[in-house]
Chains A and B, each alone.
Chain A
Amino acid sequence: MNETEIRNKILSPAIERANETMPSFFLEHPDDSVVFYGRPKAILDSLNLVSFVFILEEIVEEVTGLKIKITTQDVLDTEKAPFASMNNLVAFLQTKMAGA
């Protein structure tokens, strides 16, 4: 999957599902300035991050049939910082799916 496909088929539906089901998740107009976790003004904390991770894993499997596992190590990777921005997250998911 290329980056555009990941944004449209994985990330946008995941954000939509999170908006529907996560009690403390509000992201009306996601754009590249969004910080998911791990930096100032992040929209997720360490408790609800897990819920968002599950949603991502679910959507990836629903759309591609691939089972990916996002681990604590992935989340805490300061170099890749997958949840620090939209671009980082897209790149991270692309790598994860390629390795699945």
Chain B
Amino acid sequence: MIPENWKSNKSVFLIENDHDYSYHDLYISLCSFFPHFKQSTAICFILESNNSFLSYSRFLAALAAGKTVLLASPAQFKDNAYLELLAKETGFECAFLSLNAPLSLSSKAEENKNISETFLKSRFIVRTSGSSGMMFKLIEHSTENFFSKYEKVGPHFEKTYAFSPAESIAGIETLLEVLFHQKSLVTGLDLYDPVHVCSLLKKYKVDYFQTTPTFLSMMIISKQLSSELNGLQKIAYGSEPSLLSALNEFKKILPDTELMHTYGMSEIGILKTLTDIEDPTRFVPDEHYNPFKIVEGLLQVQSLTRMNRYLNAVELPSPLGKDWFNTNDRAVLEKGYLKVIGRSEDLINIGGRKFYPIELENLLMNISGVQDVTILSEKNEMIGSVITAVFVLNRETDEAEFRKNYKSYCRDHIVSYMHPHKIRLEKDLTLAPRMKKMRKS
């Protein structure tokens, strides 16, 4: 995959607001922006990004110009203090570029014969999501590693959807994988409501959709998932523990669509995995590409797209040596498949008894009238942690009836130390920006 190949390719790269952008369009756009980045003395560019043609063009142009690039969402870009912190944490001399900033474009698209070489040698930075409540880390990756991976793994879709935020590792991987195999991408421009997303999946006959378990639940709850989405060949989900009830519900609605449990982290990219058909909350990394081991309950992996380094943190060493990455995820092997039960820091400790939020959520989902439930925890001096169960009920559920059902279910089916200390009823889920559940109160 080299940008020069895009010049003569008229096939669709991106569909945005009903407009098709070809690979030829992308090449021209990249060449237009290229001089601005090439002329800059900054080593690193922090670019405002969204899943738009403009954003992608600038990102790729900056990489092609040999710059290290860090993408930031529009919301992050409004916060000057945050941008300064980002720049400081990179340790590089940084320049900033918002989406609406005018660039000094070349009147004639500049063609640079070294674009491909510098493109392949380029680096980008991703920021951890901090969804477990910790300070973010900045991670440096080599673009070349991702292209090597896609070459080995081969193409597995024709058209996909830009669901993940552009600045996330999943967002960047989606873009790079599409580019490498010169497939097509549909963007809803960062609109995350199930109605909008499903209408685009249907309209453009997207065959591969990568999302989060929480968003999958939202699609089911909002009744947007229907047999009309039969063009969907594969749906991938990951980045947080999955609710078995949601996946089983999905299988009833779209029985012919393959469920793919992905696993990835900002530090190692998205791994190639195999999903347990019988229990799609279980998966196993494809050992041909991603050997793995569990050591003292923590998952260790090897990855083709392992980061170069943290820019502002120290890596947790793996007991297996430097070729291995310590994910710090608690995992168990069940019938040859992995079940990831949570990050170590998500573990709830009540008076010395320990469990993960997802374990309790899976149980509470069995209560009649519950659409979704999130377990939040906070430290408590008396007993270690206190837990709040935040329920989203079905519209027709009577609250008083639900409280009776809740009480009797907990009494009969849940061990006492796992009983929530508070319950809260909400109309909607509270989600982190990357469509994952927020687990800190």
Contact = CB atoms under 8 A, between A and B. Distances in A.
Contacts of A72: 381-382
A50 B407 contact: no
A47 B351 contact: yes
A49 B416 CA distance: 12
Nearest to B388: A54
B401 to A, nearest CB: 11
Interface in B376-396: 380-383, 386
Contact of B416 (A21, A23, A54, A71): A23
Contacts of B403: 20-21
A26 to B, nearest CB: 9
A8 interface: no
Contacts of B382: 46, 49-50, 72, 75
B423 A21 contact: yes
A49 B414 CA distance: 17
B422 interface: yes
B407 A22 contact: yes
Contacts of A51: 419-422
B383 A24 contact: no
Given A20-B403, A24-B411, A50 B383 contact: yes
B87 interface: no
B381 A21 contact: no
Q: What's the interface size class on B, roughly?
A: 20 to 34
B407 A21 contact: yes
B416 A24 contact: yes
Given A24-B419, A47-B350, A47-B416, A71 B407 contact: no
Contacts of A50: 380, 382-383, 386, 421
Contacts of B386: 50, 54
Interface in A1-53: 20-24, 45-51
Nearest to B386: A50
Contacts of A71: 381
Interface in B347-406: 350-351, 380-383, 386, 403-404, 406
A48 B407 CA distance: 13
Contacts of B419: 22-24, 47-48, 51
Contact of A21 (B350, B406, B417): B406
Given A20-B403, A23-B419, A46-B383, 16 more contacts: A20-B407, A21-B407, A23-B406, A23-B410, A23-B411, A23-B416, A24-B411, A24-B419, A45-B416, A47-B416, A50-B421, A51-B421, A51-B422, A54-B386, A54-B421, A75-B382
Which 10 pairs across A and B sit closest by C-beta, in order of nearness?
A23-B410, A23-B411, A51-B421, A72-B382, A23-B419, A20-B403, A72-B381, A50-B421, A23-B407, A54-B422
Interface of A: 20-24, 45-51, 54, 71-72, 75
Interface of B: 350-351, 380-383, 386, 403-404, 406-408, 410-411, 414, 416-417, 419-423
11 contacts: A20-B407, A21-B407, A21-B423, A23-B406, A23-B411, A48-B419, A49-B382, A50-B421, A51-B419, A54-B421, A75-B382
